Amino acid sequence: MSPVEFDCIVIGDVMYDVYVGYFADPIHFLKGGTSYCNFAKIDFGGTGNVASGLALLGGKTAFIGKAGNDCWGRLYEENLKTKGVTTRIFYEDKLFTGLTLIRLEGDGERSFCVFRGANDTLSEHDVGKSIYLIRRSKYLYFSGYSFANEPQRTAILKAAKTAKEHKTKIVFDPGAHNLIRSEPWLFAKALDLCDVFLPNLDEASEITNTTNEDDIISALKNRAPLTAIKCGKDGCILMRKKRVVRVPSFNVKCVDSTGAGDAFASALIFGLANNFPLRNVGQLANWFASQVTTRIGARNFPSKRDIRSFIKELKNAEK
Ligand SMILES: Nc1ncnc2c1ncn2[C@@H]1O[C@H](COP(=O)(O)OP(=O)(O)OP(=O)(O)O)[C@@H](O)[C@H]1O
Ligand SMILES: [Mg+2]
């Protein structure tokens, strides 16, 4: 058996988030003409959010993904390295790095336009070259967004199979409820493979085919060894064996919830890898995720100092 070296290997999408918004003119994107917006921001996004958050918390992490052979791909890798993440990014000559265009409306509504680009070309062969990372890790994380197209879908399933063979635990976030609806069998398969299931309430409802919260809990209780249902401002519901723990979130002024789910996953994995009691895992995950919602962008993590003092408080409260 290989010695464990990483808390988590994150496999998935290399994405930039490009925000444009608060249009003064009601005619957005005037056809054939020029429109102006009064807010814009380009930020690192994609599955690297989970690796970045985990590294900031003090976890040892690595990231596997595919980018275009362009300056954006290189910058994404450079940024993860700067944060202390070990990287295995493959480069595709024929496609650009993925990006998500996020249009913010004045009323708080957000519309997404996703260009997956090079991400879809992550192959089984690429995963084969990354096995040394997977087998040296406690957890492997992936999300349903990376199931969008072949060959990436098969590559992710190969990573999951490799994780199983090497006793690396699998964390799976389905990503979005409409993805489950279009291919329920695939998401059921991923749920059966995983050790930690991280749906939000809509996704949990979709996969269990029920809208009643108690029914959702009963249906998911005996599926994965641990399930954490993310409930937005209401925090999360953790289920391990027969135990069901509801953990309320923190009262924050939510400005942009992009990346809240990813931040939640980072902190939950950190808590599990460090054997925190279950309720503390939920509290840390809620706190870390709630902080991210207070500014625009998925990687507005709290400072290292705030993280240290929050964890210290959690530990003191346990005594
Ligand atoms: N308004 C909020 N106030 C406090 N905490 C929040 C708020 N929104 C989200 N959170 C925290 O973030 C976690 C994840 O958010 P959410 O339940 O929206 O998951 P998600 O839908 O997977 O997120 P995403 O939109 O990033 O995919 C919640 O479980 C909670 O801990
Ligand atoms: Mg989510």
Out of 54-58, 107-111, 137-141, 285-289, pick the least confident. 107-111
pLDDT, tens digit, 9 for 90 and up, residues 237-292 = 999 988 999 999 999 999 888 999 999 999 999 999 999 999 999 999 999 999 99
Q: Which atom belonging to ligand 1 lies closest to the Cα atom of 228? A: 29
Q: Which residues form the pocket of ligand 1, taking CB atoms under 6 Å from any ligand atom?
A: 200, 230-233, 235-236, 249-250, 252, 254, 257, 259-262, 264, 286, 289-290, 293
> Cα(124)–Cα(146) distance, rounded to whole angstroms?
13
Counting ligands in written order, which one lies closest to the CA of residue 230? 1
Cα angle for residues 272, 275, 279 (degrees, 5° grid): 70
Cα–ligand 2 centroid distance for 262 (angstroms): 7
Whether pLDDT at 208 is above 60 = yes
Q: Which helix (H) or strand (E) holds 285?
A: helix 278-292
Cα–ligand 1 centroid distance for 258 (angstroms): 9
Q: Which atom belonging to ligand 1 lies closest to the Cα atom of 232? A: 17
Residue 276, C-beta contacts closer than 8 angstroms, at least 6 positions apart: 284, 314
Listed residue (211, 220, 266) closest to 242, CA to CA: 220
The three-class DSSP label of residue 223 is coil
Q: Which of 257, 258, 299 to mutate to test the pocket of ligand 1 (most atoms within 8 A of CB)?
A: 257
Counting ligands in written order, which one lies closest to the CA of residue 291? 1
- At 141, is the pLDDT very low, low, confident or very high (cuts 50, 70, 90)? very high
Q: What average pLDDT does this structure show over 209-223?
A: 95
| Contact criterion met (CB below 8 Å) for 13 and 148 | no
Whether pLDDT at 65 is above 90 = yes
Q: Which atom belonging to ligand 1 lies closest to the Cα atom of 285? A: 31
Crossing angle (nearest 10°) for helices 201-208 and 184-193: 110
Which pLDDT does position 199 carry in this prediction?
98
Whether pLDDT at 157 is above 80 = yes
Which carries the bigger pLDDT value, residue 128 or residue 4?
A: 128
Which pLDDT does position 151 carry in this prediction?
98
Which pLDDT does position 109 carry in this prediction?
75
Whether pLDDT at 306 is above 80 = yes
Which pLDDT does position 2 carry in this prediction?
62
Cα–ligand 2 centroid distance for 171 (angstroms): 13
Which pLDDT does position 69 carry in this prediction?
97
Q: What average pLDDT does this structure show over 190-206?
A: 97
Which pLDDT does position 26 carry in this prediction?
59
Which pLDDT does position 68 carry in this prediction?
98
Counting ligands in written order, which one lies closest to the CA of residue 264? 1
Cα angle for residues 186, 99, 121 (degrees, 5° grid): 50
pLDDT, tens digit, 9 for 90 and up, residues 16-49 = 999 998 666 655 677 788 878 888 999 999 999 9
Which carries the bigger pLDDT value, residue 257 or residue 93?
A: 93
Cα–ligand 2 centroid distance for 202 (angstroms): 10
Q: Which atom belonging to ligand 1 lies closest to the Cα atom of 254? A: 1
Global pTM value: 0.96
DSSP assignment string, 8-36: EEEEEEEEEEEEEEEESSSSTT-TTS---
